[in-house]
Amino acid sequence: MTIIDLSLRSRPAEQPGPALNRVRTVIESLDLGCECKARLATALDRFSVLEDKRARREALTAARGERERIALLLQLLAELDEIPLAEPDGSVYRELEFLFRDVAAAAERGAQAVARATQS
């Protein structure tokens, strides 16, 4: 039985909100013509929407990756059906324990990714 190393962690997407708000504050303090300031505000709004979509796409991609990890782990856990009741090798049980823990960890990372998607 093979144990899959799931130590790679997906990085959450950076949220543009705080930085974008600081940029908006600086722009509001500038002495710009009304039309120029309005066009800049519109551009920042469009940028914010695009960044939200990017963050949601990255979060959903991460969640899908965790789903794929879980599917692979479940295939390995299918070996549980083949273990005899009187299995003499105790390491088999330890490997199965690790697989179940890996499924739980992948599920938690997937849940966190989906939560990030809903925050976008």
Question: Tokens 């989906």 label which residue?
Answer: 114
pTM above 0.85, yes or no: no
Per-residue pLDDT reduced to its tens digit, 52-98:
999 999 999 999 999 999 999 999 999 999 998 888 888 999 999 99
Task: Confirm if 31 and 106 have CB atoms less than 8 A apart.
Answer: no
Tokens of 11: 């990085």
